[in-house]
Each structure stands twice: as C-alpha cells, then as structure tokens.
C-alpha cells in the first residue's frame, strides 16, 4: 500500500511539473513582444536609387505571437547612438578606416518617429525617406534606431534595435554586393602632343574582372584599364567616373571579324572624368576618334580614353586604353 502511495504521489508530482512546464512554454509562445525586423547582428539593409528628392524605404515592426493585438499599440522610436559604436568595436577594433558611420541627418527623414499598431494586426511599416546623392561609395552608413517605449505589452529584449543600412544602386551597379564586369581590351603607353597620342611601344591585350561601384544616378566608378589599388586613398585618387547620358544616343559602327560593315547600333553616349576633383587625382584625356558608349540592351560599356596616374603627373607619360566591359552574370 505504501509503495502504491509513493508511486501515485510521484506520478502526480510529475504530471503537475509537466503541466507547469507546458503552461510556461505556452506563455512564452503566445506572449506578445514588439520587435523590429532585422537580420544577423540586428542589421537590415535596403537599396535606394540615386534621387535628389529622396526615395522611401520601409522598416517593419512586428508583434510576436500567433494572434493579432488585443488593442492599439503606440511604438515610439529614437536614435541609438551606442549601437554603431558597439558594431564598430566588435567587427573592426582599431581598423578605424573600416568603421561604419551614422547617416548624416540631412540625408534622411523619419517623421513621425512613432507608429501605431492597430488592434487585430501584428505588424506596421515605418516610412523612411533617404537621399543618397553625395554619399561616399566606400562608406557604410547606418540609421541606428531603437524602440524607446510601447504603450502596451513589452519590447523584445534582443530585437529592440536595428542598424538600418543604406545601400545604393543604379542601373549599372549596387553596393549591396560587389558588382563585377568582365573587361577585355588593349592598352598602350606613350605621350600626347597637341591631343595626338604617340608611342614607340606595342599595344598590349588586357582583361580582368572589374569592380564597378555606383556613385550617382547614371554614374559608376572604375579603376582605369587593368590597374589595381591596395588602399582607399589610392583607389579614390586613381579612379574614373563613367557617366551615361540616357537622353543622348550615338550610332556605333558594327565590326565583323575586324572589318567595318554598313550596320550601326544605337547606344547611349558616355563621358569619362576623374572621380575626384583634386590635384592628386588621375588625369584623363578622351580619345578624339572614338565615342564612348553604353549598350543598355546587353549591359555593355565601350570605353576609349587616355589616362595619367597621379604619380605620373608633371610628366608626359600617358596610357591609351580601349576596353569593353560587360556586366558579369551570376
């Protein structure tokens, strides 16, 4: 009898504990928490077109649980100045040149800094207007936001802030990931006299997988020919700005096996200038014979130019380049 009683008591206790555990997990599963949608390390990146008037992005705010809210909830947000500092310290330590920075206030608008989540729903979108013209292409920009208060329920302990990353794009490239073009062409070193290029060396074939970075609504930044750079300062000084004019078209002759045909292909006109307006920047001279162009049908640039690196400034050493760049397909 005693043995039976002990077994009965133990079984009842186990059942009670199991019931309590189930209630606990049930409460955890259905408990309402307000959180900001983001990815790994609370980062959420959105792409924005280059537009002087600004483009609108959306930040999603959700309520956890399997049912809608029982009442309206006001979610107030504010800037989290510590989040970027913590991100930089954790990822880059003392490599200050790689630090992300807060997007300057003049480049975005969030008005108001609060949203109303309606009863019966479980999500709402916060509009964020962003201007990208003038942002540095190599810089990571965040808008650091944190839930300051909620009128009901409770904010998430881990998803209560977000580093809203401002990614830039145009028709030719994006900063969401590295954009590469397949480049083939030729280069020749020589000199320029009265805008006429001369050389006593042979033209050399070049090819590379070329990084192309958006820097404006219709502009990208590239390094000349098959050159490379090891640091950001050299990259910026030696880079070219390639700009497409969508409204200006030129008829480009068609060559077949090196022979000129009577056919032409309409393409958009392209200009090439130094990326930086600086005495330390690369010098550029456009070929007087050939017109640079872009074929929007194939995503191909046809570029003809001469350049002189900053380190060569003051002399008369120039490099004439003829290159074709086609966006790589992945």
Say if residue 217 is in the same domain as residue 284. yes
- Among 169, 193, 227, the domain-final residue is 169
pLDDT score for 289? 82
Q: Work out the average pLDDT over 183-205.
A: 93
CATH of residue 92 = 2.60.40.1740
Residue ranges making up the domain that contains 314:
179-327
In-domain check, residue 22? no
284 and 226, same domain (yes or no):
yes
Q: How many domains does the chain have?
A: 2
Q: State the average pLDDT for the chain.
A: 89
pLDDT tens for each residue of 130-144: 999 989 988 999 999
| Predicted confidence band of residue 7 (pLDDT cuts 50, 70, 90) | low
In a domain, 86, yes or no: yes
CA distances from 50 to 10, 54, 216, 283 (A): 69, 8, 6, 26
Could you tell me if residue 120 is inside a domain? yes
Examine the domain organization and report whether 64 and 163 are in the same domain: yes
Output the CA angle 58-64-68, nearest 5 degrees: 90
Asked if pLDDT for residue 303 goes beyond 60, the answer is yes
The answer on 202 and 273 residing in a single domain is yes
Same domain as 89, residue 107: yes
Give the pLDDT band of residue 17 (cuts 50, 70, 90): very low
Instruction: Report the CATH number at residue 271.
Output: 2.40.128.440
pLDDT attached to residue 16: 45
DSSP annotation of 174? B
Confidence at 124, pLDDT banded by 50, 70, 90: very high
Q: pTM for this structure?
A: 0.84
Give the distance, in angstroms, between the CA of residue 56 and the centroid of all CA atoms in the same chain: 15
In a domain? residue 148? yes
Chain segment 250-273, per-residue pLDDT in tens: 998 877 766 777 888 999 999 999
Residue 124, in any domain of the structure = yes
**185 shares a domain with 162:** no
160 and 289 in a single domain? The answer is: no
Q: Which pLDDT tens digit goes with each residue over 87-120?
A: 999 999 999 989 999 999 999 999 999 999 999 9
Residue 132 included in any domain? yes
274 CB contacts (<8 Å, ≥6 apart)? 239, 240, 241, 281, 282, 283, 284
| Interval 137-174: pLDDT, tens | 889 999 999 999 999 999 999 999 999 999 999 999 99
Q: Examine the domain organization and report whether 225 and 90 are in the same domain.
A: no
Q: What are phi and psi of 12, to 5 degrees?
A: -65, -40
Q: What is the mean pLDDT of residues 232-254?
A: 93
φ/ψ region of 20 (left if φ > 0, alpha if ψ in -120 to 50, else beta) reads alpha
**Residues 127, 253 within the same domain:** no
Asked if residue 250 is part of any domain, the answer here is yes
User: Do 220 and 80 share a domain, yes or no?
Assistant: no
Whether 197 is covered by a domain: the verdict is: yes
pLDDT of 19 > 70? The answer is no
For the record, the structure tokens of 142 come out as 């965040």
Listed residues 169, 201, 233: the one ending a domain:
169
Exposure string (b/e) for 182-201, b if CB count within 10 Å is 16 or more? ebebebbebebeeeebeeee
Q: Write out the two tokens for 36.
A: 């900001």
* pLDDT tier for residue 5 given thresholds of 50, 70 and 90: low
Q: Could you say which of 148, 169, 190 is where a domain stops? A: 169
Mean pLDDT over 35-60 rounds to: 92
Cβ distance 164 to 59 under 8 Å?
yes
Residue 4 has pLDDT above 50, yes or no: no
Bridge partners, residue 166, by sequence? 46
């Amino acid at each position: 009898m005693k043995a039976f009683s002990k077994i009965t008591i133990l079984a009842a206790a186990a059942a009670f504990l199991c019931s309590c555990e189930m209630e606990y997990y049930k409460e955890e599963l259905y408990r309402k928490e307000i959180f900001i949608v983001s990815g790994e390390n609370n980062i959420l990146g959105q792409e924005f077109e280059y537009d002087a008037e600004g483009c609108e992005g959306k930040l999603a705010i959700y309520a956890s649980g399997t049912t809608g809210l029982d009442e309206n909830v006001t979610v107030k947000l504010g800037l989290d100045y510590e989040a970027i500092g913590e991100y930089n310290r954790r990822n880059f330590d003392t490599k200050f040149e790689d630090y992300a920075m807060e997007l300057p206030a003049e480049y975005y608008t969030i008005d108001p800094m609060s949203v109303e989540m309606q009863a019966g729903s479980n999500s709402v979108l916060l509009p964020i207007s962003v201007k990208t013209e003038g942002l540095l292409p190599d810089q990571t920009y965040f808008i650091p936001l944190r839930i300051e208060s909620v009128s009901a329920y409770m904010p998430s302990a881990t998803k209560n802030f977000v580093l809203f990353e401002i990614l830039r794009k145009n028709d030719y490239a994006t900063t969401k990931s590295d954009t590469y073009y397949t480049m083939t062409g030729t280069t020749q070193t020589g000199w320029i006299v009265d805008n006429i290029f001369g050389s006593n060396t042979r033209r050399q074939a070049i090819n590379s997988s070329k990084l192309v970075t958006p820097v404006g609504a219709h502009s990208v930044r590239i390094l000349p020919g098959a050159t490379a750079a090891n640091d950001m300062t050299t990259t910026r000084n030696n880079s070219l700005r390639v700009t497409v004019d969508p409204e200006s078209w030129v008829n480009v002759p068609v060559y077949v096996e090196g022979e000129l045909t009577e056919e032409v292909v309409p393409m958009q006109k392209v200009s090439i200038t130094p990326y930086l307006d600086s005495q330390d920047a690369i010098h550029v001279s456009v070929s007087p014979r050939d017109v640079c162009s872009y074929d929007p049908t194939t995503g191909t640039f046809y570029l003809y130019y001469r350049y002189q690196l900053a380190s060569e400034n003051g002399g008369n050493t120039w490099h004439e380049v003829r290159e074709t760049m086609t966006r790589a397909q992945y």
